[in-house]
A and B are shown apart, each in its own frame.
Chain A
Amino acid sequence: MNKRPAPRPPGRDPEQRQPQEMNATDAAPPVRTVEPLASMHPAPHPAPFDAPQDAPAAVPATRADLVGMLDDLRQRGGVDVADEAAILREYDALAGELRQEKARLAAGFQERLARDGEDDASAWLAGAAEALGRRQGERMRRLLQTIPALAPSQS
């Protein structure tokens, strides 16, 4: 009875979107090349992508941008002041570690590039960088799990 679908502007239905986007992309400059991530992670559900409607469009590229995003989340009731401070503390620790690890991996990459060639060096780097990302993501996940609005939906 109460199955009213959320109102969407015409053309925003996920099931109609794909062909439209494919046509649009054919005509547009080739900006959407996401092979590495997309191919390793085929999206299991196509549905939830209409949510960022009320989200800021800009992608954070600096700590200041991230602070702005967290402020926005706080205003929308997603986090409180203490959560925001805890996320930034963890972020700062991760950013420091990332800078150090990245410098170490860059030196290792150069060595392997000279010694083993580009394919081997890139394969080694991909494994090491993914492991680093996973470690850092797990640390952040442990923190985010303590914030109710940021928990995965029960489905």
Chain B
Amino acid sequence: MSFLSGLGDLVSNVVSLAVTAYTGNPMLGQLAGGLVGSLLGESGGSGNAAFDSVFNGAFSNGFLNALGS
């Protein structure tokens, strides 16, 4: 899954930090980042870098908003 080595890593770290900040629970933040990273990694790249970039950022944003709210 080399697709995740760039943007995906970054995205899951941001999710982890943001959820930790919103909830005050580092364990939840860590798990949230892991869930997003794994979901995006397992879903694979589409072959279109523009699509992947928009999709990964927006999907992660929605996910962290739901978990952090």
Chain B contributes a number of interface residues (CB within 8 A of A) equal to 54
- Within 8 Å by CB of B34, from A59, A99, A129, A136, lies A59
Contacts of B18 in A (CB 8 A): 37, 41, 43
Question: Looking at chain A, what size class is its interface with the partner chain?
Answer: 35 or more
In contact, A48 and B13 (Cβ under 8 angstroms): no
Grouping DSSP codes into helix (H, G, I), strand (E, B) and loop, the B interface class, with mixed when no group exceeds half, is helix
B53-64 to A contact mask, C-beta < 8 Å, 1/0: 011011111111
Contacts of A38 in B (CB 8 A): 14
Grouping DSSP codes into helix (H, G, I), strand (E, B) and loop, the A interface class, with mixed when no group exceeds half, is helix
- Within 8 Å by CB of A59, from B37, B43, B55, B59, lies B37
Residue on B nearest A133 in the bound complex, by CB: B62
In contact, A134 and B63 (Cβ under 8 angstroms): yes
Within 8 A of B (CB), among A69-121: 69-70, 73, 76, 78, 87, 91, 94-95, 98-99, 102, 105-106, 109-110, 118
Interface membership of B49, Cβ < 8 A: no
Binding site for A on B (CB under 8 A): 1, 4-5, 8-18, 20-31, 33-35, 37-39, 41-44, 46, 48, 50-51, 54-55, 57-67, 69
